[in-house]
Amino acid sequence: MDPRIEKLSELLVGYSCDVQPGERVLISYEGECCRNLARQLIKDIYQKGGQPFTEVRDSVITREVLLGCTEEQLKFMDEISLAQMKGMQGYIAIRAGANTSEFADVPAEKLNLYYQLTQPTLDYRVNETKWVVLRYPNASMAQLAGTSQEAFEDFYFDVCTLDYGKMSRAMDPLVDLMNQTDRVRIKGPGTDLSFSIKGIGAVKCDGERNIPDGEVYTAPVKDSMNGVISYNTPSEEQGFTYENIRFEIRDGKIVKATANDNQRINQLLDTDEGARYFGEFALGVNPYILHPMKDTLFDEKICGSFHLTPGMCYEDAPNGNDSAVHWDLVMIQRADYGGGEIWFDDVLIRKDGIFLPEELQCLNPEALK
């Protein structure tokens, strides 16, 4: 077994999910290249005294099901999944699909129905289990990153097995500051946005839920946001790559949305009432992730970025917004991406991706590497 796989498995089982004797853990994976990691996870879960269970997914098959699915069928599918999830204490998802655009030709109404009706399982998994989700390096991901597969694998294992304990300690001052903050102002090219995060609470993501990791998140007070934002990274959602996304926001609601496909983005935002409000605001700090590759688990952790997410809020940073959508859209504010500023209560906290207050400088890339 590749020692890098063994190290990653040890991190997932022992740190991210902290598997204890007798706990049941569902390993859900897609892609044959994941099999060695899945095998090692099974061994390590047994070593911890846990009970591993497996689920194999295939996006090609799922697409075929979605093309002809009915509401009754999707509800029953979720009942089955939810019953299984309720028996688990842990969940590890590994994704390495061969085609990131497999759902591109599934009608929007079918995809929206699918995400709406499978929400109960997702909610239970997020709120009631110890879970971690990760991608696994394959040719498709290397293409997104614009590198050879070998080079991407080297990058991947560096990013995924960094010292998350060190990162976690460095995040504490930012968590404390966000917990004390009322007003946020964000400025940048095509962006001037203000909102409140008062009383919501901040949460650090330090390798326990996503691998790779590296963000601190909260949520805007639901109706407090006003202004305009122009995102500078592409985002793949429901099999389509959105670019040049721009939102005009009034009293928390997206009142105008444009992109490279205006009809499609507005259909997505009309999934339900909550999809036009925001459920998350987060700062990305992973020092090894510098450029977007249209993979949310990587892009939302980009050093010097933030993401502002239409849709569902998290239970541990609640602002009351409920939706089947949770769409992490990323803005990079480093100088090489046009720069930008983040202000907390009229104090400049981060400029061009670099934290300025002394107590936050431990989160800058040279300190975290």
77 closest CA partner among 66, 88, 67: 66
123 contact partners, CB below 8 Å, separation of at least 6: none
User: For position 181, what pLDDT does the model report?
Assistant: 98
User: For position 18, what pLDDT does the model report?
Assistant: 94
How many Cβ atoms from other residues are within 10 Å of residue 107's Cβ?
11
Within the chain, what is the greatest distance between any pair of CA atoms? 57
- Eight-class DSSP state of 303: T
**pLDDT tens string for the chain (369 positions)?**
899 999 999 999 998 999 999 999 999 999 999 999 999 999 999 999 999 999 999 999 999 999 999 999 999 999 999 999 999 999 999 999 888 889 989 998 899 899 899 999 999 999 899 999 998 999 988 888 888 999 999 888 888 888 888 999 999 999 999 999 999 999 999 999 999 999 999 999 998 888 899 999 999 999 999 999 999 999 989 889 999 999 999 999 999 999 999 999 999 999 999 999 999 999 999 999 999 988 888 999 999 999 999 999 999 999 999 999 999 999 999 999 999 999 999 999 999 999 999 999 999 999 988
| CB 342, CB 349: distance < 8 Å | yes
So where are the chain's domains?
A: 3-160, 164-368
| Per-residue buried b or exposed e for 302-340, using 16+ beta carbons within 10 Å of the residue's own CB | bbbbbbbbbbbbbeebebebbbbbbbbbbbbbbeebbbb
47 closest CA partner among 68, 21, 25: 21
231 closest CA partner among 334, 329, 337, 350: 329
Pick the CATH number of 3-160 from 3.10.20.90, 3.40.1830.10, 3.40.30.10, 3.40.50.300: 3.40.1830.10
| CB 161, CB 2: distance < 8 Å | no
| Per-residue buried b or exposed e for 154-180, using 16+ beta carbons within 10 Å of the residue's own CB | ebbbebbbbebeebbebbebbbebbee
What distance in Å separates the CA atoms of residue 268 and residue 255, rounded to the nearest whole number? Answer: 14
User: For position 285, what pLDDT does the model report?
Assistant: 97
User: For position 101, what pLDDT does the model report?
Assistant: 84
What distance in Å separates the CA atoms of residue 248 and residue 325, rounded to the nearest whole number? Answer: 18
- Transcribe 134-184 into DSSP letters: EE---HHHHHHHTS-HHHHHHHHHHHHTS-HHHHHHHHHHHHHHHHH--EE
